[in-house]
């Protein structure tokens, strides 16, 4: 109909076919339909519309009426887009950092790790995200670090760990990590954000200085 054509003309060109297909599918097979699409006003501005409706059928199953509503949800879509952009900026920044970064949930499981973290672990993002770090800890550091980690996480306060971890190339590296508790918008504990630096060279310099000091002491 002319009214349908006018309504469709106001829909963003990229969304017209999707909207048409959704309506056709609802009329033929479904009882309820729901879709978000963009409309373009006379001023050229785009608005997001949430359309939801119910198809009423006769005893033979033929569609007789379509009852529903259209709701302007532009603000919701813009907020979601801003969140996506913010997350993309955060990931780009995190991936450029020359240190291991992660974000954990209250139970301790990781929900984000950066590129340096993935490179240290090897085997890709998913493997790094779900890695059990106990399998990478040096045997001489394992029990101590587990005790310190459990105490730090239980305190829900900032804590520091330092230990040797096996890198993807099988080399043992000293990592010093700093974990900071994070809070939800409601002020509830939401897990930890952490960063770890490779301090292997610094530890070697420290050991060399200690040996030099011991040698000088012996000579004196």
Higher confidence at residue 202 or residue 143? Answer: 143
Task: List all residues 6 or more positions away from 147 whose beta carbon is below 8 Å from its beta carbon.
Answer: none
The answer to whether 105 and 193 are in contact (CB under 8 A) is no
Higher confidence at residue 141 or residue 205? Answer: 141
Residues 57-95, buried b or exposed e (16+ Cβ, 10 A)? eeeeeeeeeeeeeeeebeeebeeeeeeeeeeeeeeeebe
The answer to whether 29 and 37 are in contact (CB under 8 A) is no
Q: Average pLDDT, whole number, for the chain?
A: 88
**Span 160-170, mean pLDDT?**
97
- Give the pLDDT band (50/70/90) at residue 214: low
Least-confidence region, from 21-30, 77-86, 152-161: 21-30
- Give the pLDDT band (50/70/90) at residue 3: very low
Q: pTM above 0.85? A: no
Task: Please give the Cα distance from 209 to 45 (Å, whole number).
Answer: 68
Task: List all residues 6 or more positions away from 182 whose beta carbon is below 8 Å from its beta carbon.
Answer: 103, 189, 190, 191, 192, 193
**Residue 207, pLDDT score:** 66
On the question of pLDDT at 2 being above 50, the answer is no
Task: List all residues 6 or more positions away from 128 whose beta carbon is below 8 Å from its beta carbon.
Answer: 110, 113, 117, 118, 120, 121, 122
pLDDT tens-place string over residues 181-206: 999 989 999 999 999 999 999 888 77
């Amino acid at each position: 109909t002319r009214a349908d054509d006018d309504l469709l003309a106001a829909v963003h060109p990229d969304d017209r076919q999707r909207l048409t297909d959704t309506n056709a599918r609802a009329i033929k097979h479904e009882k309820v339909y729901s879709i978000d699409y963009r409309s373009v006003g006379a001023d050229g501005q785009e608005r997001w519309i949430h359309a939801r409706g119910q198809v009423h059928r006769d005893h033979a199953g033929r569609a007789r009426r379509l009852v529903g509503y259209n709701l302007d949800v532009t603000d919701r879509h813009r907020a979601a887009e801003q969140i996506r952009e913010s997350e993309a900026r955060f990931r780009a920044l995190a991936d450029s950092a020359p240190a291991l970064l992660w974000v954990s949930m209250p139970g301790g499981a990781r929900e984000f790790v950066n590129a340096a973290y993935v490179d240290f672990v090897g085997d890709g993002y998913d493997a790094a995200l779900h890695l059990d770090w106990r399998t990478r800890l040096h045997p001489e550091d394992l029990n101590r670090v587990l005790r310190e980690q459990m105490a730090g996480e239980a305190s829900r306060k900032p804590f520091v760990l330092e230990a040797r971890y096996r890198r993807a190339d099988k080399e043992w590296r000293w990592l010093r990590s700093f974990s900071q508790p994070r809070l939800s918008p409601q002020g509830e504990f939401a897990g930890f954000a952490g960063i770890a630096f490779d301090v292997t060279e610094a530890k070697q310099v420290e050991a060399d200085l200690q040996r030099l000091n011991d040698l000088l002491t012996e000579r004196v």
